[in-house]
Amino acid sequence: MIFSSYNFIFLFFPVAFVGYWVITRFFGVKYAKIWLVAASLFFYAQGNILFLPILVGTLLFNYLIVFFLERVENRSRKAKVILLLALVENLGLLFYFKYYNFFIGNLNNVLGTDFILKSIILPLGISFYTFLILGYVIDVYKGRSKRSTFLDYSVFVTFFPHLIVGPVSRHDEFTLQLREEGFGRLNTRNVMLGILLFSIGCAKKILIADPLITHAQNFYNVMGTGNFFESWGGVIAYTFAYYFDFSGYCDMAVGLGLLFNIKLPFNFESPYKAVNYADFWRRWNITISMFFNEHIFKNIFHFGNKLWKLIFATLATFLVSGIWHGAGWHYIIWGLANGVLVCIANIMTIKRKKVPAWLGWFFTFLFTLLTRVLFDSNSMSQALGVFKRLADIRLLFASAGAFWGQCVTYIQGNVWVVILIVVGAAICFFAPNTKQISERFEPKWYHAVFAGALLTVSLFFMGQVSNFLYFQF
């Protein structure tokens, strides 16, 4: 079950929402939280009920970890052993489901062995809820967080808006809201803003992302026949598709959270307006970037260290980011390429080397398109093939008329895709993002009209909806 589906909008969510507030009104917040956990587990089970025991087992195991961590001295030897158990359990599960076949395949290639690959299905959301839990466990280990009640902890981990693809919330920031006096009271502003954000996210996904995803995937699936313009069209389409798909999901998640008086963090802040790559990664998938910064970068680099340490910490952080995103060498190269680009941006800042903002934006967006090829390809060989076609302008010198004729042919054959790219670009480069909309929001009648129009139009196209791209991570 996904947010942008009839089953979710007309069945699951109304029952979960009405049930939550009815239980709050007549039985109190405690039982409403229990209802929310039960509804969230039901929601998760719709993906594949066989993976529900893994989620529940991980939930229980790590609460025991936190229970024992609070009974030993912070950062002591005993605490380190307990933390190690948590790392082994969480990262071990992630390794098995996500990287086992990749590891065994490469081992066979290098050593000439013939270990058999397993038929493994990646549990939905495991990459994200693992980070939710690990962040909490590490904070308790370092003395930055305290153990909450099991019920509040369960709501934090299983809360269905952020369970599958984030955003990755911090435990203390999340559970503090569960204890606030106004938590169990229906907030009209939150409801109106929540509906607006959900409608915007739904429109992003269905009206813009899905058609662009179809076009881009068709290009990559038949890669080898695309000319210069078809290649750039496919790459640009996927670049905008990923943004509207992922940010659309996160907008819906934030909107749904507000309907329960829970404020989830925004995960995007106009990333395609960035003027350098360090700026880009402060705007894209913000909560995951903060997780890697907190738990990898800051454990390697400390204020006052030399430049080489900064470079090493940055590359190590993005190497881990690449590995986290997927089991494939193209993801690893993608991570390192982003690390190099962030290093260049940081060095320019340290050396006080400035370029005009428009030029910085141009090269940042250009390299975003090029690194996207590494991310979207199925392998390094396919990525290299796409790069070759992106640079193939031999026809321009042989016959300029034929070259530009290909451009006209591509536009004529993909008018709707080109329109969506232009509309998507206008939104990305000139429109306010949902964080800015939320900060300025004051309930008005036209917000209701706008949200209703977006959701109504989205519903007409919902029958063709696809899974969110980040479900595979």
Active site residues: 325
Q: Could you tell me the two tokens for 328?
A: 């494939």
Helix (H, G, I), strand (E, B) or coil at 85: helix
- Hey, how many other C-beta atoms are within 10 angstroms of the C-beta on 266? 21
CA distances from residue 240 to 43, 138, 295, 461 in whole angstroms, order as listed: 29, 35, 29, 19
Q: Are 251 and 200 in contact (CB under 8 A)?
A: yes
Residue whose pair of structure tokens reads 């239980």 in the numeric block: 23
Please tell me the total number of residues recorded for the chain in this structure. 473
Q: Are 238 and 368 in contact (CB under 8 A)?
A: no
> DSSP string of 362-419?
HHHHHHHHHHHHHHHSSSHHHHHHHHHHHT--HHHHH-HHHHHHHHHHHHHHTHHHHH
Helix (H, G, I), strand (E, B) or coil at 124: coil
Helix (H, G, I), strand (E, B) or coil at 456: helix
Q: Are 209 and 8 in contact (CB under 8 A)?
A: no
Q: Are 252 and 458 in contact (CB under 8 A)?
A: no
- Smallest CA-to-CA distance from 251 within 455, 55, 52, 422 is with 455
